[in-house]
Structures are given as C-alpha cells and as structure tokens.
Structure 1
C-alpha cells in the first residue's frame, strides 16, 4: 500500500512540475515582457498559480486513483502499460496546447482558449499566417519537451510501478477515497465559489496574470463554456442587420450638460439585485428604500432603465464596457474576449482619474477579478483587505463596513477619482447583520429586508458625504447590476424582472428632482458619462446618449433563450425556443421586433468574432 501511495503522490508532483516547467517556457518564450518584470513578480507567478495548477492536476489524478484502485490485484506490468498510455496521452495533449499557445500569444496577447478551434473548419485561413519554419520549430520544441517529460516519468515513477506487488482490498478502498478527494481538489476547495481563472489574476500587469494561468485549465474551461455556443439568432443577412443596428446606435456630436464642473469625482455604486419593484418613485413598493427615494428628488432619475442581463457579470460588463448581455453566455467568462472590450475606467484614467473598485466578497467569483484588472483599475478592494472579524457575511463583508471603508479612502484620495462599489448584502441568501426589518412578506421578507439594510447603509454614507469638502465636486451614480424576480416571483423573461433603478445625484449635478422617461439600458451609461466629460468614444458602439432626447429610445435585455426589446411605442419579448413572441404589443411592435432581432444577431456575431 505504501508503494502505491508513493506512486500516487509522485505522479501528483510530476504534473505540478510539468505545469511549472510550462510556465518557465512561457516566460522565456516571451522574454522581453518576462524580463521586464521583477524577481518578486516571477515568484508571484508560481505562488498565485499554484491553486489553479493544483486543481488542474486533480483532473489527471482522478483517473490515476481509479486505475490504482481497480487494479490492486492485477500484475504490475498491466498497470504499468495502462499508466504509460495514460501519461503519454496527457503529455501529448498538454504539449500540443503549449507549443500552440507559445506561438499564438505573440500575436493575440491572450492565453489560448477555445477560440483557435473555431478556425479549424477553415484550415487554409487558420494556418495562412504561419510559416513552415515556425511549425517546424514548435514541433521540435514539443518533441524535446515530450521526450524530457516522458523520460523523467519512466525513470522516476515507471520503475516503481513495474516493481509493485499485489495487495489486499484495503488499498482499493483507500484509493477510492483519494479519488473522491480529487473532486474537491478539482473544485479548488470547499469554499462557496469554485475556483476559476480569476484565481490566477493578481496584478495590474496583464502579462504576469497571463503567465500565471494554467493553460490546460484555461482551454478546458473555455471548451466547456463554448460547447454548443453558436449564433442561433440569425434573422437577416449580416449586412442588413448591421445597417439596422448602426442606425439605432448612431452617435450625436452634442449632449445636454448635467455637470457643474469639468471633471467631477465619480462614485459609482452598483446595487446588487435592486429592482424597480422596490423603488417607490419608479412605481414600486413603499418604505423599502426610503433613502434612495429621498435622493431621487436631488438628482436625475430614469424611469425606464433596464438591466441588459440577469447576472452580475453581465451587468458589470454592460455598465463598465457598454457590452450587451447575451442569452446563455457571458463575455466576462472569456478573458481573451474581455481584453478587446472598451473600458470606462481606462478612458477615465486617460483623463487623469484615479480608479478603484470595492467589493466585499471574493472577486474571483464569475471571473470578476480578471475583468477588473484587465479594465485597468489601480486599486481593488475585496474581502481579503478586511480583518477576519469583519468577514462575517455569507459572501464576505457586509455592505455598511465596505461603505465605511469607501468613505475613509475617499477622504485621502487624490482628485479627480473614480470609485466603484459593488454591494453584496442583497444577494441570495440575503445575509444581513441585523434582524430582518420585514417579517410578514412571506418568501420575499428576506430579500426586502436585505434591500432595506443596503439602502440604510447607503443613506448613512450619503449623509456623511454631504458634510465633506469633496461632495460639491462629486457625482453619485446609483444603479443595479441586474433586477430580481422578487418580490412577487416575476417571470425570468418579464419586463419587471429587468427594470432597474438608475439615479444620478451628488453635489456636482445641475439638475434636481428630474425624471427622464426615455428607454435606456445599462450599456448606455458609460458612453453618456464620457460625453459629459467631452470625450467622444466610438468604441462603445452599442451605446447611445441618455441625456439627449433626440437619440433613439429603446431598451434591450437578454435572458436564457430569448430577449426583450422595448421602445416608447412597443414592447417585444421573444422566446427563441418556441420561435415565438411572448409579448408583442404597441403601434411600433412590428418594426421594433425587427430592430430587436437585428440587435441580438449583430451583438452575438461580434461576441463570437472577438
């Protein structure tokens, strides 16, 4: 039994060493970027990469554990040959990925995922830019790496397998237990958030983040997510659809100025799961958000703002990159695609803003951290930046504590600043540090109480902010990441599930107690604010100016297997499974339904091409 355990853990170490060797090859292959990093950065590449390397090795060890468990009574030569075939197969796949990635990275500047596989259907185009010398070089490199790795395996582990003796049934039970533990290893532990590629992201320098990535994990995760992803939303010829969308998103040269200063500070508060159904000025329930309701009289409230999607990752990408949500897929799950997005934070940095992002949870969730670092945020505050005694919420740190941290940091921040705070207390399971304010609302009581708590924390922050010197030069943006089926359990496709609050207030706003009724989406916000700063940014190609009344008035949102498209004259909700309209009403419904179909077709094509 001891011999088998030694073989098992030797194989685990073997795969970890292979991953570390792969990282070294990546660094030396990209020596200009690599040697521009400090020695500390090199160490961090391996330290921060260990968790995802270890999880990746778990996939290999799963089959290893099963082989050893079920071949306890067989002759060692049979086990030896089985393991030989298995190791050769795994080495071949990983080395093929590695030599491809080493070449592709120099062109694409993101680690290989499933993207190149889309081009294999057209091999002529796929290999048109690759010379024979490059192919030969990579084959030689791969062959040398394979020979070195396999020779090491044969000498260090293969010999041990050859000399194994038969053992009793207890060894089988032990290795079945180790196999079960492999599932925990593959998941990255027992935390609420399974490990994902964000675990490798730790730096503002994207190269060091890329070097930290485990290639096998990156390709595997991308393949799983990419599986069966294609644009099923094809209603027109692409050129015709693009013409429709171009007219919908036509840019204006002028806007209505709402700022009292040229470069106001911007505090962007993304309210988790807030819905218009709990905002009284938007026709929602009374007494749920008294602080938000009061603030609505101090700024600009948008009556018809819609979330683009139904998840946080989709909402953040829409708000900060102007990229619309799509059914069944999220751009944030593809770091290679997010690198090609425009970023509100990067545009502000070029204007001299100091940028930071606050989140009381684990930013590895939904690949948020990799997105934020790609977006160029200079500071990222998360649950790891708070004391253990403050990490008492299910998701991390309660909102009122993070609001206090935000307030303290602003006091010492250089102006102009751009600070984003993504709240979490109103996320299921609605864990809050105080007794539930509502107890008689049935299943909705916990949700409504969490919103009430978040609103109270917001009110405390605003009250303190109004007494500071920076308030008069600051705008506050309050917007949800997505809506909620609660209260009332609306349909997952329903209008009320996607209608969200958007309020712009603060000391640097020149309009008070104003309500805009035009139909807008999250994707419009960043672009519109850049126009207020006299920055034209056409890279936000799916956005329109929300402060000008002569721009098209429409909202778009996507849900699983469908979309909604609303204008001043129509409401259209399309179910793509049944290929029929759930809702199609209003005088402009026929024409607007074509706009909605064209919009989702063009955005999906853009997503696949990135």
Structure 2
C-alpha cells in the first residue's frame, strides 16, 4: 500500500504486477528512487505497522482470548456465510463477474483509481501476467521494427471524402457481423437488405478484416488503433490502455462532444474502464433504461437503443461523435419474436439476429435522412469481429475475420464506391483523423485507407497464431506447430516475414506499456 502511494504519483495508475517485472534488475529498479523517498516510505510504513499492531492488540486480541466454545449450528451458519461470500467476491450471480470496470464510475480517472482494491488489482494482474511473454520472436527487434516502420509509413496528404470540414461522426459497431452475411461482399442474399442498400450510397471496403476474435480486441483496434494479439487483450490492463492513443480524445480536442451507447453492462470485458479512460463524456448503458426495456439476455434490444440514439442526436450540439455498440447479434441471439429465419438449421438464430439488427439499423437511417443533421453527418458501419457462423468456419480462417466496413451519410462525397485494398480495423481512426487534417503519429500501426498508394495489407490474430493478407498473398501461421496453415500467392515468402515482424513488434510494445 505504501509503495502504491508513491508509484501512483509517477505512473497515474494503481499498482499491479508491473513493478515486479523490474525486480530482476534491482539496480535499474532503484536507480530512479531517491534516498529521501526510500526513507520516507520506511518511516511511513513503520508508523502504519505500529498503529495496526497496537490497535489489534487493544481492540481484537483481548476479544479472541475470551471466545467461548459454541454449538454445531453456529458453525454451520458461519460455513454457509463463508460460501455466500464467494458469491459476493464474484460480484453476484449475473452473467458478468466482477472485474476492475466495476470500480470505474466517474469521468475523473483519479476517482476511479481510488476505488480500486489494491490487493485484488495486484493479485489479478499477477494471475494474468503469470504466463504472458512474447513467444513470437522471429528476428532481432531492430530488424523487425524496420520492417514494420516501412509497412506503416505515414502520409502527408489523403484523398478527401468529406463534404464539410468537421462532420458529425456516428460509429455503429455491429456485433459479430461477418462478410458472409453481406451480399455486396459475396455473402448470403436477403440477410442484411438495409446494409446492402446503403452500400450503394457510400464507400464499401471489400477486404476489411477484424484484428481479433473478441469485442474488447475489436473496440481497442477501432478506437485506439492497437492490433489484437493471441491469447491476450490490452483492454484487460488499464495501466496499459492509459498509454494508448484514443480517437475520442483527438476528436474532443477538435471540439466534438463524445458519447458511447451500449445496451448491455459495460463492465463486461473491462469496456467501461476503457471508455472512461478514452475520455467519453457520456456513457449510455442498460442502467440508463427502464426495467421494462431490459428484457434481452444481455440487456436492452438494439431497436430501443437506436431510438435512444436518435432522440439524443436531435438535442446534441454539433459536431458530435457518437458510438453505438449493438448486442442483439451476440450469442445466444436473444431478439424480439418472431424470428425471421426458422429453416436454416443451427444458423437460424444467428441469421435472424443479424436480420433484426439490420432492420433496426434501417429504421434509424430512414429517420435520420429526414433530419437537418443528416447532411453534416457521416455514418460508419463496422463489425467488432467476425463470426464462425453461418456454417462452421475455422477459428483461424480468412472468412472468420473478414468483416463489413461501410462509410456513408450526408457528408460524404463518394457514392456507390468499392475499395479493394486490404485494410484492418486499426486503420480506421487514423484515416478519419487525416480527413480532419489532423496528423496523429501516435496511431503507429495504422495506415490511410483512402489513399491507394499506401501498403495494402490486413493483419489478424487468433489463439496461437495470426493471419496476414496482401494483394499478392495469403499467409496464416500456427504458432503451436510452428507451421503455415496457408501460404499462397506470389508474394507469400516476403509477406510471411512482414506478418511475423508485425506480431513481434506489437507484442513487444504490449509488454513494454
């Protein structure tokens, strides 16, 4: 606890397992600590120990000596209370167990940090950090960094797609949407009729890939430009997320009001702590809706949240940045009845949930087009991650990570346009900042998706491996077997090295944060 007080003044996040990583080199660890600090900590620690010891002796020690033997019924009662305490430790019986997000409640990060249980935080971090190391070491770090730096070179200019200097920006992050259900991307017909129609009104990206296979990884990629990694998520480490760049913070500096909408519990996957760290001024969740509206397994159905979003925009000061993360197409695909598809076997529920979300999206867009703010607004439709459904694609497969990305709205100057360059979720925030004439080199793993002369590649990570695709090759690496699942195309040999260098550098960056 004493160490935490001192470390917080330097790092601005509560103590976790990070300091322990430096104890292997005690000389370097203590090089930045003055003797005055050490002496102050020793004195403060001694005083607290003495106060605790004498308080215990006086208030508790005597009571323990006078304890009387009790009967077996009291013992059973205390045993039952002990069992109940484990439910409290979990945070109740809800779907989402307690995590650090439960302590986050304020826009003031110091207030959030003050409510974190230090010992829980250190213990949880030790468990999570125990087996984390960079096994993806293929080159000398300097050589890998040179390869990645060339891949992610920044542009001085871009192809302008906005009709106004500061358009309103609405992100709609579509839960588990995959290119397999989007007809213009080669997917099934009649699953997303509203998305399909909108594709003719904006810019559709044919080769956009999710960086990871979970929502927390997708959100960090979209809003911070940080690539997903196998078996670990940066969002689970608040100390690390504080060092990420944030699209929302950049927009806030440009005068945008920022809001995030999610019909579920934002404590899930540490989303709330990430969003508050990202500086979102307004966070709407299931707790902001009436009990009668919280009827879905995960919280509030999408069409209700879409209506809330629409009403809020009507009274919002422009320019605004609003993000809506849908949930109805998340397993178990709990949506209002009747289900649209009933004859598609095991995929019926998933396809019905996607159809429902698309219908709610279509209703929102239809109403938005009749408003005054539409002509000054861009709408970005993108998935948080792909899906193994429909069908039963492999967890590593290309089709499991290919996702829709569509940019439309009244403030876009291109219609019915398809870009075929290979891109990832990590490229989006940086590219939009370039459209706003903002250079933001802190998004170091991002490239401009609107300029055709930038490197064309997509990267994604799955458990124990990664995929790396370009215009001339497809590479999928399995790190357990140390072999390629796929290695095809004229540029496969060279591009496989790029993929390996990329994951090595990102993993090293993750560990260093």
Partners of 1:522 and 1:232 in 2: CA distance: 24
2:141 to 222, 238, 247: 238
Are positions 1:251 and 2:149 aligned together?
A: no
Stretch moving more, 454-463 or 582-591: 582-591
Q: Distance in 2 between matches of 1:237 and 1:518?
A: 30
Please name the residue that 1:192 is paired with: 95
Deviation for aligned residue 1:461: 0.0
Q: Larger deviation: 172-181 or 292-301?
A: 172-181
Paired residues in the alignment total 513
**Displacement of 1:168 after TM fit?**
3.6
CA distance in 1 between counterparts of 2:102 and 2:194 reads: 37
How far apart, in 2, do the equivalents of 1:465 and 1:150 lie? Answer: 66
> Per-residue deviation at 1:159?
2.3
**Partner deviation per Cα, 1:494-515 (whole Å, 9 max, x = no partner):** 1111100000000011111111
Offset of residue 173 of structure 1 = 2.5
Q: TM-score, normalised by structure 1?
A: 0.83
Q: Distance in 2 between matches of 1:172 and 1:579?
A: 55
1:374 is aligned to 2:314: no
Deviation at 1:169, TM superposition (A): 3.2
Give the Å deviation of 1:213.
1.4
Question: CA offsets, 1:217-259, max 9 Å, x none?
Answer: 2111111111110111000000000000000000111111111
Q: Is the aligned partner of 1:393 residue 2:296? A: yes
What's the offset of the Cα at 1:117?
Answer: 1.0
**CA-CA distance at 1:195 after TM superposition:** 0.8
CA drift at 1:586: 0.8
Displacement of 1:174 in angstroms is 2.4
Among 303, 308, 318, the alignment partner of 2:211 is: 308
- Out of 374, 390, 403, the position equivalent to 1:487 is 390
- Mapped to 2, the partners of 1:490 and 1:150 lie a distance apart of 61
Q: 1:601 aligns with which of 484, 498, 504?
A: 504
1:150–1:449 CA distance, 2 compared to 1 (3 A): farther
- Residue 463 of structure 1, CA deviation: 0.2
Instruction: Write out per-residue CA displacement over residues 501-550 of structure 1, whole angstroms, 9 at most, x where no aligned residue.
Output: 00000001111111101000000000000001111100000000000110
What per-residue deviation string (whole Å, max 9, x for no partner) do you get for residues 143-187 of structure 1?
221222233333333322222233343343323222211210110
Cα distance in structure 2, aligned partners of 1:325 and 1:381? 26
Match of 1:578 in 2: 481
Deviation of 1:486 (Å): 0.8
Q: Offset at 1:489? A: 1.7
> How much does 1:479 deviate?
0.2
- 1:7 alignment counterpart: none
Q: Matches of residues 305-454 of structure 1 in structure 2 within 5 Å?
A: 305-454=208-357
**In 1: Cα distance, 2:354 partner to 2:467 partner:** 26
Deviations 1:555-578 (CA, angstroms, capped at 9, x unpaired): 000111111100011111111111
Q: Per-residue deviation at 1:118?
A: 0.9
After TM superposition, the structure 1 stretch with the greater mean CA deviation from structure 2, 148-157 or 261-270, is: 148-157
C-alpha distance after superposition, 1:205-226 (max 9, x if no partner):
1111111211112111111111
Q: In the aligned structure 2, how far is the partner of 1:177 from the partner of 1:561?
A: 42
The 3-state SS of whatever aligns with 2:466 is strand
Q: Deviations over 1:36-85 (max 9, x none)?
A: xxxxxxxxxxxxxxxxxxxxxxxxxxxxxxxxxxxxxxxxxxxxxxxxxx
Structure 1 stretches of 5 or more lacking a match? 1-97
SS at match of 2:447: coil
* Whole-Å separation in 2 of the counterparts to 1:552 and 1:542: 12
Alpha-carbon offset, residue 468 of structure 1: 0.4
Measured on the aligned residues, the alpha-carbon RMSD in Å equals 1.0
Secondary structure at the counterpart of residue 235 of structure 1: coil
How far did residue 200 of structure 1 move?
1.3
Once residues 479 and 155 of structure 1 are traced to their aligned partners in structure 2, the CA distance between those partners, rounded to angstroms, is 62
Does 1:291 pair with 2:194? yes
Q: How far off its partner does 1:485 sit?
A: 0.9
Residue 418 of structure 1 and its aligned partner are, at CA, apart by 0.5
Gaps of 5+ in 2: none
User: How far, CA to CA, are the matches of 1:490 and 1:161 in structure 2?
Assistant: 62
Deviates more, 1:183-192 or 1:312-321: 183-192
The partner residue of 1:128 within 27, 31, 49 is: 31
**Bigger mean CA offset, 199-208 vs 304-313:** 199-208
Per the TM alignment, residue 394 of structure 1 is displaced from its structure 2 partner at its CA by: 0.9
Could you tell me the TM-score, scaled by structure 2's length?
0.99
Q: Deviations over 1:122-157 (max 9, x none)?
A: 111111011122112112212221222233333333
Structure ranking higher in helix proportion: 1
Greater CA deviation, 453-462 or 139-148?
Answer: 139-148
Structure label with greater radius of gyration: 1
